[in-house]
């Protein structure tokens, strides 16, 4: 959670000042957040048993909340 908040903070700093150093700080924070998020997702799925994933309603509910899709309202809210 702190990593995501820091990423968002850096992004808003960049939007307010349009400074190259803020942009670089945002890019680094975004990279760190993505790395941490992938690591956490991997450990989450490794800890699950096949029985946990057989209930498709629970799986898709989790998947939808974790994975962004093109249909999401704020899919492009933060630029790459």
Q: What is the pTM of this model?
A: 0.64
Average pLDDT over every residue of 3-10? 94
Asked if 41 contacts 66 with a C-beta cutoff of 8 angstroms, the reply is: yes
Report yes or no on 60 lying in a domain. yes
CA distance linking residue 19 with residue 54, whole number of Å = 49
Domain assignment of residue 46, yes or no: yes
Q: Is the model more confident about 62 or about 5?
A: 5
Q: Which domain holds residue 18?
A: 2-66
How far is Cα 22 from Cα 15, in angstroms, rounded to an integer? 9
List all residues 6 or more positions away from 10 whose beta carbon is below 8 Å from its beta carbon: 22, 25, 26, 29, 30
Rounded-to-integer distance, Cα 53 and Cα 62, Å: 10
pLDDT per residue as tens digits for the range 17-43:
999 999 999 999 999 999 999 898 888
The answer to the question of residue 71 being in a domain is no
In a domain, 78, yes or no: no
| Domains of the chain: total | 1
Q: Is residue 24 part of a domain?
A: yes
79 φ, ψ (degrees, to nearest 5): -70, 155
């Amino acid at each position: 959670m702190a990593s995501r908040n820091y990423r968002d903070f850096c992004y808003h700093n960049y939007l307010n000042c349009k400074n190259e150093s803020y942009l670089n700080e945002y890019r680094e924070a975004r990279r760190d957040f993505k790395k941490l998020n992938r690591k956490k997702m991997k450990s989450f799925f490794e800890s699950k048993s096949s029985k946990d994933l057989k209930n498709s309603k629970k799986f898709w509910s989790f998947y939808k909340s974790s994975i962004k899709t093109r249909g999401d309202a704020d899919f492009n809210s933060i630029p790459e």
